[in-house]
A and B are shown apart, each in its own frame.
Chain A
């Protein structure tokens, strides 16, 4: 079953047919979502009523397009803010972790490394509830003790950021560590010999070398943050990110506006995904 071994053609063609069917199955739901974003009907279903841009640019009810739909636009902004902070925090902590695990040897390193990987095997919904329980207890204790309000520790945008950061950091650490391991420490020593300070050598030699990995980690973080649902669901307050807003809409009944948003999301995430691959290849 490899290219150099001849196979009977019936087998070969049925294998190819299977692969083709598989890719059809992969593409089917996404293609359907995209096609119905252009259907001139208030339900995303057949029959096909003609082509329209109304679900993107329309401003007359019931044809309110994405770009005139305030709640959706607002949740996109919320998602953007969350994604920015998650990316910034997780790349920062991820870079520190990479230096720690690649450059330093210390007691308990193996144990800490396993702990660092744990967020990968904790289901997202449990990460969400555990953080919810913990921050509420802390907030209650603090409020009882001081008599002040601690709204930041109640469900809302700050908890959403912390919840997503708690597992995305692991991915950032893995991506950045992989690049730092390939770095030749000789380059840094050369800089030190030429009179650079230790911090200067890291800033001018090591960090530029790491930059593609840090950028890739940031892109991955933005992607994961935008599409995260489980953890966010448990921590969300009144200002919901995009996935939560879409979920609430979907439960009420869908209109092609959701298809239009989905189409934009598909295009956006494909571009970001390709960007992260290109950055990691560098």
Chain B
């Protein structure tokens, strides 16, 4: 009787999970895969083929955009790591008590604010009539307005800003767990600051570095707002292509194929990152 009851509880707890995963995650992705394999041959007539994927590989604009999105995302990830690491180290190792909490919170607040608001802020700063341009003119450093929006540097600034928190938070967490006495021991044994950084601090922070990089890369790759608003019409970001195939051109077959390619690239990078560093998905994501 008791085991019947606990079995019932088990099934009752399992059903929302299964319902959620099946109807909103698994079936939609399977469905999208089949749509991407459909080739339109007439009105409401379709054939199964790889034609949509062939379109991607035969049209330079499409795969150039794809490659560009990938390497810009990798660049944004590395830049975020380079800028964020000293900050995380400072918060974790060189501050104590209330200062530490305050600095950490100051890092978190921009992340709670909508990405749209953050991007809007950069637009006000960078555009031709924007604050930076006017300040530079006022200071006499330039004659006439300067346009700083709608180029790759603007996209990069926005991407790094948007993803900074996802790098700093895991880094602070892992660096926090590094015992100070290990660093002291390194100095006692005659290590230089650089060799200690390379042989003690970075190996210890590796799990944080990996999970930060994975999350930042995924967020940059799948970002739509920042490239479109800061990069303008010629931003050439892959998510922009997906959006235009779906909403503007109503070509769902090609759009689905694009979606799958993006999903494939992002999963591949996550997989490689986890394999190279010997981490598991559950540990990395649960932080």
Interface residues, chain A, with chain B CB atoms under 8 Å away = 1-5, 15, 18-19, 22-23, 25-30, 32-33, 36, 43-47, 92-93, 96-97, 99-100, 104, 106, 112-127, 129-135, 137, 162-163, 165-166, 169, 174, 198, 223, 226-227, 229-230, 233-234, 243, 246-247, 250, 254, 258-259, 262, 265-266, 269-270, 272-274, 277
B21 within 8 A of A: yes
Q: In the docked arrangement, what's the CA distance between A92 and B16, Å?
A: 9
Chain B residues, Cβ within 8 Å of A32: 121, 124-125, 131
Q: Which of B51-59, B148-156, B202-210, B261-269 contacts A (4 or more CB under 8 A)?
A: B261-269
Instruction: Name the A residues within 8 Å of B147 (CB-CB).
Output: none
B residues near A165, Cβ cutoff 8 Å: 20, 24
A19 to B21, CA, bound (A): 43
Scoring B residues 79 to 121 as 1 if CB is less than 8 Å from chain A, else 0, what string do you get?
Answer: 0000100110110011010000001011111101111111011
Q: A4-B184, A96-B16 are in contact. Are A126 and B259 (CB under 8 A)?
A: yes
In the bound complex, how far is the Cα of B94 from the Cα of A26, in angstroms?
A: 20
Whether a CB of chain A sits under 8 angstroms from the CB of B282 is yes
- Interface pairs A-B: 9 shortest CB-CB: A29-B121, A123-B222, A227-B114, A130-B28, A134-B28, A273-B112, A166-B24, A100-B13, A269-B112
CB 8 Å contact bits of B186-209 with A (1 = contact, 0 = none): 010000010011000000000000
Query: What is the CB-to-nearest-CB distance from A48 to chain B, in angstroms, rounded to a whole number?
Result: 10
B113 and A265 form a contact (CB under 8 A): yes
Contacts of A269 in B (CB 8 A): 112-114
- 27 inter-chain pairs at a CB distance below 8 angstroms, sorted by A residue, are A3-B93, A26-B164, A29-B122, A32-B125, A45-B130, A93-B17, A96-B16, A97-B17, A99-B13, A100-B14, A113-B282, A114-B281, A116-B21, A122-B263, A123-B218, A123-B263, A125-B239, A126-B263, A133-B31, A134-B31, A137-B35, A198-B5, A229-B116, A234-B246, A243-B114, A243-B116, A269-B113
B124 with A36: CB separation less than 8 A: yes
Instruction: Note all chain A residues with C-beta closer than 8 A to B62.
Output: none
Contact A26 B106 (CB under 8 A): yes
Look across to chain B and name the residue whose beta carbon is closest to the beta carbon of A273: B112
Give the nearest-CB partner of A123 in chain B. Answer: B222
Contact yes or no, B120 A262, CB < 8 A:
yes
Using A3-B96, A123-B222, A233-B224 as known contacts, list a sample of 10 further A-B pairs with CB atoms less than 8 Å apart, ordered by residue number in A: A3-B94, A32-B131, A104-B10, A120-B285, A121-B267, A126-B262, A165-B24, A198-B5, A243-B116, A250-B229
Tell me whether B75 is interfacial, beta carbon within 8 Å: no
Partner of B121 from the list A15, A30, A277 (CB cut-off 8 Å) is A30
Residue of B nearest to A243 (CB): B116
Interface residues of B in 1-45 (CB under 8 A from A): 5, 10, 12-14, 16-17, 20-21, 24-29, 31-32, 35
Complex contact B13–A273 (CB within 8 A): no
- Establish whether residues A23 and B183, one from each chain, have CB atoms under 8 Å apart when the complex forms: no
- Of all chain A residues, the one with the shortest Cβ separation from B219 is A123
Tell me whether B49 is interfacial, beta carbon within 8 Å: no
A247 touches B116 (CB 8 A): yes
Would you call B114 and A226 a contact (CB within 8 A)?
A: yes
Inter-chain contacts of B105 with A (CB < 8 A): 274
Q: Across the interface, do B20 and A166 meet the contact criterion of CB distance under 8 Å?
A: yes
Select one of B10, B29, B120, B134 contacting A250, CB under 8 A.
B120
User: Which chain A residues border B74 with CB–CB below 8 Å?
Assistant: none
Q: Which residue of A119, A133, A233, A246 contacts B252 across the interface (Cβ within 8 Å)? A: A133
Closest approach, in angstroms, between the C-beta of A2 and any C-beta of chain B?
Answer: 5
- Flag whether B77 is at the interface (Cβ < 8 A): no
B123 at the interface (CB under 8 A from A): yes
B134 near A29 with CB under 8 A, answer no
A45, A125, A174: the one contacting B124 at CB < 8 Å is A45
What residues of chain A lie closer than 8 Å to B5, measured between beta carbons? Answer: 198
Docked-complex contact A46 and B131, CB < 8 angstroms = yes
A274 to B112, CA, bound (A): 10
* Interface contact B129-A266, CB-CB below 8 Å: no
- Minimal beta-carbon separation of B229 from chain A (angstroms): 7
**Docked complex: B269-287 residues within 8 A CB-CB of A:** 270, 281-282, 285-286
**In the bound complex, CA of A33 to CA of B131 (Å):** 11
**B224:A230 contact, CB within 8 angstroms:** yes
